[in-house]
Amino acid sequence: MTEVALAGLRTRPLSSYLAAIGLFRVLGEQVDPSIRGWWQGSTFRVDSTLDLDEIGSFLLDDYAPTPLVAPWSGAHHGGFSPIGPPRTRNALAVIADQSDPRFDIFQTVIASMRALYETPVWRTLSEQADGDRKRSRPTNAAVKRQMILLMRNHLPDPALVFLDASIALTSDGVSYPILLGTGANVGRTDLVMHYMENLGKVIGSAQQITAGWLESLLSGHSSPLAEASLSQYDYHGIGGQNLTKVDASASMANPWEFVLAIEGALAFEATTTRRLGTEASGSSAPFTMASSPAGFASASVDEGAKGETWMPIWARPWSLLELLSVLAEGRASWKGRQARSGTDFVRSARTLGVDRGITAFERYAFLERNGTDQVAIAVGRVRVADDPGVRLTAELDPWVRRLNFGADSRVPASVRTTRNQVNQAVFAAGTGAGPRQLRHLLLCVARAERAVERSAQFQESSGIGPVPDLSSGWWDALRNTEPEQRIAFLLAMGHDRWGQQADGAPTARSLREHLRPVVAGRLGGIAGFRRGGSLVTGLGTRPVTDLLADVAVLRARTAPEPSGDLRPPIRGVRVQFPVRRIDAEARDPRGSRSLVERFATGDLELGALSQWLEILLLLRPVAELEFDPAFDAAQATDQTRPEPVWRLFAPWFGQGTLLLDRGVGSDGSVSPSRLVPAVRSTWPARLRHATPMQLAGLAREVRSSYGAARLSSAIDPAMFDAARPPQTTISALAALMVPTRVRDLADLATDHLHIVQGANQ
């Protein structure tokens, strides 16, 4: 056995890839059954009983081409009509008149087809097809199906290789895999005619010329090209109908590359998708599916894509039987079913849902260029790997399918823009679902939801609703040590107990129902879009501190009064959304004092915080939380600047009774001093709009509340008389919405409060 590197056969363009598969196939079937083939990087290699020179000699002297006939093709009937264009009849005659025994099988197939062509039943079907063609309409599917059945019954078995690869019979007609066009027609190009013409070139040209073409193909050395076209298989070709408006004869190509590319395409046997477990019957070739408008620069719903195919790359030597077995199965499963689109396929590859032994896939999109001509464009390579984060994206599939309803020209511009971004982000997450890709995906989804909410017409036509709640697995995949993410998580995950108001109407019980245009259902899920939009508008466009301040004002008017605690010294509400620990022994999951005060002083990046809120509000608020202490330790700092407004109000905004330093009771006993948090309903609104003078007056009122609890604050309201930008107070109010650890708030209160003799017990 000799290992041979075929430097001229590479994974790109598609013509080169298929030529490698074609060479592997004809060598294995005609001369060396023991041959093994594999890809090393982008180059094809074989381990064979033949060396490179012997492979070339076999092709030049002994290779027997697979017979192809297409008597249904165009007005010329694939060259079988005596009155068809001379070019097609001449191409057929080149093969039929060969004296070389390598063409015996091909000539037998042609003779059998000529005999079938003269039968009355064929003539009747052919006349019906011609009538449809003259009326500029597609040939009746039942007629085409009968023609294919007649060919299968009358032609020798070698002819079935082409029939099986180019046409799939369905229950009521025929369908076509994109790899061989529409029954071997690609736009104005007849693939069978080009195959015969190129065979004539490699056989009829001088030995030195055809050997030069072959050496160029196998070794990668440059050689003069011939007047030929690689059709849809090489969009980089020089001239040709796929790139210019000149005739295909102006194209320059290597005839051997086209011949072997067709031989390779025949290895991809077409079948019907019922066998692969999809929902509807149709044409399918291995690893071929509907196109996804994502993953390359020009991707668009209106792109005119015919589909896409993912060509397998394997690094371990395979026998021809192994390759054909993999292609026969063509397995690419996603969510327990066959992949239906390129986006499904890339995620299948990244979750080991494809055939074992494949290391990567080269993706080709079949797009319309120069009118209706179809070309295969290489749009990326995806390596096979196990990426658990990719599985999370399946939760978005039903919603994204509805988002992709309708062509771009029939949907609002805002929806069109955001859905293109979502499609690209889903595909990018499929190629590698790290935290950065998942974060970008959810950010695009959040913005698409807002665009959809603004278009009632699109909602009605597509049946789309809000993004359904996403699982907590997203949080584990997104978790990092950014302080902005920790703040956003504490804001997004807190919620009141789920339920409904007495009149049965849903009530907003979490930040999600305030900032997203959604209504919560009875058990906390998403019930639908809120009529009139978000309660507080501007997520993603307004400063996040302004949004949270507005939520605090609204919440102060609607939140329930505390229950289950000692009655506070003032009647009021709790405006923060409660965050609960797993059990009584668990560590308090709320934010640390230093972290929350950093937010209050403006030390955090508000743009990042806003984006994290957009993302995390797509997740369902959880009932209980627990954080690794190392998570907050990574954010701790000893250089937090004091924010007096936040420090004065924070104990009242807390979520649990504060146990302060122990005081001495009137009977001389020692007992802990308590502060039961509650907020007067007017405080948030007054903070939201306070001038420095008004802020000082409010501070004095808060000090009075401390006095009612037999505590006195060391924070002097006079310090607020100085010029203080209103935005700093708004930032402090926004930070007061962040759940903070009870113990930290107790320590904060102890720092600036004095316990009065006889404090409440």
Claim to verify: residue 599 and residue 694 sit in the same structural domain = yes
Give backbone dihedrals phi and psi of 283, rounded to 5 degrees, phi first: -85, 140
Q: Could you count the other beta carbons within 10 Å of the beta carbon of residue 289? A: 25
Q: pLDDT by residue (tens digit) across 400-429?
A: 999 998 877 789 999 999 999 999 999 999
Whether 304 maps to a domain, the answer reads no
Strands (E) located in 317-430: 318-319, 333-334, 337-338, 358-369, 373-383
Whether 561 maps to a domain, the answer reads yes
Question: Do 1 and 54 touch, CB atoms closer than 8 A?
Answer: no
pLDDT band with cut points at 50, 70 and 90 for residue 564: low
pLDDT band with cut points at 50, 70 and 90 for residue 758: very low
Claim to verify: residue 491 and residue 463 sit in the same structural domain = no
DSSP state of 274: G
pLDDT of res. 246: 42
Claim to verify: residue 461 and residue 533 sit in the same structural domain = no
Q: Which residue has the higher pLDDT, 241 or 635?
A: 635
Claim to verify: residue 187 and residue 55 sit in the same structural domain = no
Q: Which residue has the higher pLDDT, 475 or 29?
A: 29
Pair type for strands 226-227 and 252-253:
antiparallel
pLDDT band with cut points at 50, 70 and 90 for residue 282: very low
Strands (E) located in 149-265: 168-169, 174-175, 185-186, 189-190, 226-227, 252-253
Can you give the CATH number for the domain in which 52 is found?
A: 3.30.1070
Question: Do 679 and 572 touch, CB atoms closer than 8 A?
Answer: yes
pLDDT of res. 658: 86
DSSP string, 280-341: S--EE-TTEEB--S-SSTT--TTS---EEEEEEEESS-EEHHHHHHHHHH--BEETTEE--B
Burial 69-93 (b: 16+ CB within 10 A, else e): bbbbbbebbbbbbeebeeebbebbe
- Which helix or strand (DSSP H or E) is residue 661 part of? strand 658-664
Compute the average pLDDT of residues 588-608. Answer: 93
Claim to verify: residue 117 and residue 215 sit in the same structural domain = yes
For the chain, the domain total comes to 4
Alpha-carbon separation of residue 599 from 351, 483, 488, 737 (angstroms): 39, 9, 11, 11
Between 214-228, 275-289, 457-471, 529-543, the lowest mean confidence (pLDDT) is in 275-289
Claim to verify: residue 98 and residue 48 sit in the same structural domain = no
Mean pLDDT of the residues in the chain:
85
Claim to verify: residue 548 and residue 673 sit in the same structural domain = yes
Q: pLDDT by residue (tens digit) across 340-371?
A: 889 999 999 999 888 789 999 999 998 876 55
- Which stretches within 97-190 are classed as H helix? 104-117, 120-134, 141-154, 160-166
Claim to verify: residue 113 and residue 28 sit in the same structural domain = no
CA distance 601 to 434: 32
Q: What is the SS3 assignment for 189? A: strand
CA distance 592 to 741: 6
> If DSSP states are collapsed to H, E and C, what string results for 439-472?
HHHHHHHHHHHHHHHCCHHHHHHHCCCCCCCECC
CA distance 462 to 458: 6
Claim to verify: residue 502 and residue 560 sit in the same structural domain = yes
CA distance 361 to 287: 10
Residue span of the structural domain in which 727 resides: 485-755
Claim to verify: residue 103 and residue 240 sit in the same structural domain = yes
Q: Which residue has the higher pLDDT, 194 or 712?
A: 194
Domain boundary among 265, 294, 314: 265
Between 192-206, 339-353, 406-420, 564-578, the lowest mean confidence (pLDDT) is in 564-578
Q: What is the value of pTM for the model shown?
A: 0.84
Q: pLDDT by residue (tens digit) across 66-92?
A: 999 999 887 678 889 887 778 888 889
CA 559 remoteness from chain centre: 39
Compute the average pLDDT of residues 7-36. Answer: 96
pLDDT of res. 290: 83
Q: pLDDT by residue (tens digit) across 671-680?
A: 567 888 889 9
Q: Can you name the residues that pair with 369 across neighbouring β-strands?
A: 373
How many alpha carbons lie under 13 Å from residue 230 in its C-beta half-sphere? Answer: 30
Compute the average pLDDT of residues 526-548. Answer: 94
